Amino acid sequence: MNTEQSLSAIPGNKEQAKRFAVVALALWLLSGIPITIALMLKTKLMLALSVLFMHWGLPFIVAFKYERRGAASLGLSFKREDIGRYVLYIVAGFIAIEAIHLGERFLRIHLAGESPEAWITSRSFLEALVIQLLTVAVPEEVLYRGFLMTRLCDWLGKTKGLLWSALIFGAVHSFSRLSWQGGDYAVSAALIGCGTFLGGLIFGFQYLKTRSIIPSAVTHILLNLALAEIVFRLV
Rounded CA gap, 36 and 180, in Å? Answer: 8
pTM over 0.75: yes
Tell me how far apart the alpha carbons of residues 134 and 56 are, in angstroms, rounded to a whole number.
9
User: What would the mean pLDDT of 155-162 be, rounded to a whole number?
Assistant: 96
Q: Residue 155: is its pLDDT beyond 90?
A: yes
Percent of the chain with pLDDT over 90: 56
52-61, 71-80, 109-118: which has the minimum mean pLDDT?
109-118
Q: Are 120 and 232 in contact (CB under 8 A)?
A: yes
Q: Quick one: pLDDT band at residue 122, thresholds 50, 70, 90? A: low
- Which value, to the nearest 10 degrees, does the dihedral of the CA atoms of residues 223, 159, 173, 144 take? -80
pLDDT value at 176 more than 70? yes
Q: Is 104 left (phi over 0), alpha (psi -120 to 50) or beta?
A: alpha
Contact 146, 74 (CB under 8 A): yes
How confident is the model at residue 72, as a pLDDT?
A: 93
Is residue 16 within 8 Å of residue 26, measured between CB atoms?
no
DSSP class of 67: S
Q: What is the pLDDT at residue 235?
A: 43
In whole angstroms, give the CA distance from residue 186 to residue 10: 42
Mean pLDDT of 101-121: 80
Say whether pLDDT at 4 is over 80: no
pLDDT in tens, 30-40: 888 888 888 77
Q: Read off the pLDDT of each residue in 172-193 and give the average, rounded to a whole number.
A: 85
Beta carbons of 152 and 24 less than 8 angstroms apart: yes
Higher pLDDT, 217 or 7: 217
- pLDDT of 228 over the 70 cut: no
Q: Higher model confidence: residue 72 or residue 122?
A: 72
**pLDDT > 70 in the chain, percent:** 88
Mean pLDDT calculated for residue range 127-132: 87
Residue 163 Cα distances to 1, 89, 232, angstroms: 20, 19, 31
